[in-house]
Structure 1
């Protein structure tokens, strides 16, 4: 099922996210975990695409396992470390596997990335355009309630987001946040600039204090003092 049809039927949905294994030897344990989570019957499950495409070879495989459990799969796809031929290879593989939903992302810069070097893709909106032209997929995009860490202002970030949505994004999912007011403010500002697609709240369970500190520094997400005190006490 395309997720754009899901939200026509349901106002409230629940999803989970799976991370493909980094090593071949871990594939079976990840597949087993995905099968167990799928038994909870979420509305859909997303499958990430490794930084620099590092675990990308497993994305479609894990997504197929998700769908074999009767759960709709959403496959992540990043573009900054790929050329057009590689992207089309990935789109062909997802189409052949029966995956109808893609979360289109720029992705993290790979080690040794040269911004001046000629590339087929530099931004997520270019990947959205490529998928839209390819056809057949429901396309999701990322958004940032507190602003993208690389943007000078939230207003600038919203302008870029509107451009991306106008290129063919069917829905957005947010970066994690720990203050609901940040999300409510963002939803209001997004609506003001004409962004009317469904926006899903991205929730990050806190299970590791050191990992959370690193993720916060990379994403620019604010951790309210009341949560920081809990994290410090029970780390």
Structure 2
């Protein structure tokens, strides 16, 4: 089996202080030698410059970095300009997403789905970019059915995606079932497991409600039982997520993509237990 690829995700900071804090965090995480860092993109392109600045900062330190690019609320011309900017800066990898429409926003834009964005990137730039897309082992919250969701994923791969990163999850069986179903459709690209460390119960519940990630009942009840005991929450979360990662890697997951939340401690602790 090939060595799994580990990668780490950040969101662009909003202030100079946040940028400096992220720099410190990133340099700690860089010691783990991840394959690359990715940087998210706000709804409707709201953090476009921050995303690029963060990616360039990472690259200046000698690491691979992949900006996220979303198409919701964007025009072909605006996406073309961003792609040109990425190429001019020597960026070779990106994460292509539909994205979320910001509240109060009028229309969806000229490209409505991630497969249309991938097709557009390929038409404009050929094979310049290594393109990652999203996958949803527990089904996208807006999908009509699991089968519809799987077919939407297939369209993204057929449009030219090289690999996929999943939404985070805590049920390994959901991941393995999704991979099996994708392979039955002839999808052969790597499907990397998205990993969310557990450090804050309230925050985790809020995120999971928004994105449709299922928290197993026993995990939820255990976390709730700790109340404000953050040390116990973090210790339990570390055990749960490390065990999940071990099972995923043993079952053949080609890599793990850590949603770091711009923090170093939890991702580092999990990583060190795995290597």
Q: In the TM superposition, what whole-angstrom CA distance separates every residue of 1:102-145 from its partner, at most 9, and x where no partner exists?
A: 1000111111234xx47311111111111111221111100100
- Structure 2 gaps of 5+ residues are 228-275
- Note the aligned Cα RMSD (angstroms): 1.7
The within-5 A match list for 1:85-234 is 85-114=77-106, 117=107, 119-135=109-125, 136-234=128-226
Q: 1:80 to 1:221 in 2, by over 3 A?
A: same
Residue in 2 that maps onto 1:5: none
Q: Report the count of equivalent residues.
A: 225
Question: Is contact 2:101–2:108 with CA below 8 Å preserved after alignment?
Answer: no
The within-5 A match list for 1:25-104 is 25-104=17-96
- Structure 1 gaps of 5+ residues are 1-8
C-alpha separation in 1, matches of 2:206 and 2:199: 13
C-alpha separation in 1, matches of 2:225 and 2:160: 45
C-alpha separation in 1, matches of 2:185 and 2:192: 18
- Please, what TM-score do these two structures have when normalized by structure 1? 0.89
C-alpha separation in 1, matches of 2:12 and 2:132: 19
